[in-house]
Amino acid sequence: MGLIEVADSIKSMEIRGAGLIARSAAEALKRQAQEYRGDDLGEFRQQLNEGRRTLIDSRPTAISLWNAVQITMRGSSSAKDVEELRELIAANADAFVQRSGRAVEMIGRIGSKRLRSGMTVLTHCNSKAALGVIKAAHADGKDIKVYATESRPWRQGLLTVRDLSAAGVPSTLIIDSAVRWIMKEVDVVVVGADTICSNGALINKIGTSQVALAASEARVPFIVCAETYKFSPKTVHGELVEIEERDAGEVVNPRLIPADVRVRNPVFDATPAEHIDSIVTEVGLISPYAAYEVIVRELGQESIFEASEE
Ligand code: RI2
């Protein structure tokens, strides 16, 4: 798949999940670099920069995409010729993809320690990182049951229950509006992340903040699973995360409602740090209030500088 096709697939959500879009973007840049046939360094750089922009613009909310592209392009301004730049991009992309895979595995190991046998977990949408935690606990022989929300309008909950069923984890699908009613049977909520802000707020699939409110009210711990490349250096500069609004046709067939009725389809929302018990990252389980530290230590001052340049 060429870079434009990857960007289109991210936009149409054939490629989805904040981690997967990040890995796919890094690989798309690597392929674009490998396929460049000329020997003009300036032209090559320009093509890569255009590719970078196309990927970043494919979905606006998940910072994983921006971080992946930045990390893949890092050091490219000092390359002396086409070959050196090509090799740098390929090495950066490979390192990022490996890092991402290891991070999801590590999060599974760390997060699973918070799940005890006999627990009922509620998860929202379809997060590889969150499911990694649940499946790791199950693989450790713990008796875990899961409530999975449907996650309208895309119904990623169906992917979640299929994945859990294949792993042998008993799961029950519920509609999104059943969350507060079901919460009395839940011991812990485990969700993924599209972006973690420097103030510890979580940006994740629409409805996450309602799940967090219901969990907070019922004193059920709310755990977020996020690789460190899901933390946002842009938010350090006070930037607000753009919440993607998708086509209303994803929510309802326009022929079923009067023409004067407006339909909105925001696909992410923000959960403040106060409703988050902890964030499981590949470098450990942290308080949401340590988000700024994670940005500085794991993504580096360089990323904060790059974010200010955008
Ligand atoms: P992993 C998804 O977004 C969901 O919001 C999910 O919680 C998040 O990405 C993280 O997923 P979308 O692409 O990276 O379905 O943990 O809009 O797989």
> What is the rounded average pLDDT for all residues in the chain?
97
pLDDT at 310: 79
- Report, as an integer, the average pLDDT of 157-174: 98
- Report, as an integer, the average pLDDT of 287-308: 96
- Report, as an integer, the average pLDDT of 233-251: 97
Substitution site in 10, 124, 126 for ligand 1 pocket (most atoms within 8 Å of beta carbon): 126
Domains along the sequence of the chain with CATH: 3-102 (1.20.120.420), 107-300 (3.40.50.10470)
**Pocket lining: 124 vs ligand 1, CB cutoff 6 Å:** no
Nearest to 30 by CA among 59, 51, 60: 51
pLDDT at 302: 94
72 pLDDT above the threshold of 90? yes
Spacing, Cα 301 to ligand 1 middle (Å):
26
C-alpha torsion sign, points 11, 14, 17, 23? negative
Give dist(CA 224, CA 17) in Å, integer. Answer: 15
- 3-state SS of 64-79 is HHHHHHHHHHCCHHHC
192-238 pLDDT per residue, tens: 999 999 999 999 999 999 999 999 999 999 999 999 999 999 999 99
pLDDT at 229: 98
289 pLDDT above the threshold of 90? yes
- Report, as an integer, the average pLDDT of 81-107: 98
Phi and psi, residue 102, nearest 5°: -65, -40
Spacing, Cα 233 to ligand 1 middle (Å):
19
95-149 pLDDT per residue, tens: 999 999 999 999 999 999 999 999 999 999 999 999 999 999 999 999 999 999 9
301 pLDDT above the threshold of 90? yes
8 pLDDT above the threshold of 90? yes
- Report, as an integer, the average pLDDT of 39-61: 97
pLDDT at 21: 98
Give dist(CA 8, CA 35) in Å, integer. Answer: 19
Phi and psi, residue 145, nearest 5°: -115, 150
**Pocket lining: 204 vs ligand 1, CB cutoff 6 Å:** yes
Is 136 within 8 Å of 112 (Cβ atoms)?
Answer: yes
Spacing, Cα 188 to ligand 1 middle (Å):
19
The torsion angle over the Cα atoms of residues 49, 51, 56 and 59, rounded to 10 degrees, is 160
For residue 20, which atom of ligand 1 is closest to its CA? 14
In the chain, the DSSP E strands lie at: 120-123, 145-149, 171-174, 188-191, 195-196, 202-205, 222-225, 268-271, 278-281, 284-286
**Pocket lining: 17 vs ligand 1, CB cutoff 6 Å:** yes
Q: Please, which residues have CB within 8 angstroms of residue 89's CB and are 6 or more apart in sequence?
A: 29, 30, 33, 48, 72, 73, 76
Nearest CA to ligand 1 atom 15: 17
Spacing, Cα 304 to ligand 1 middle (Å):
24
Phi and psi, residue 87, nearest 5°: -65, -40
How many other CB atoms sit within 10 Å of the CB of residue 253?
8
Percent of the chain clearing pLDDT 90 (strictly above): 99
Its pTM surpasses 0.85: yes
Residue 145 bridge partners (DSSP): 120
Tokens 């949401």 locate to: 288
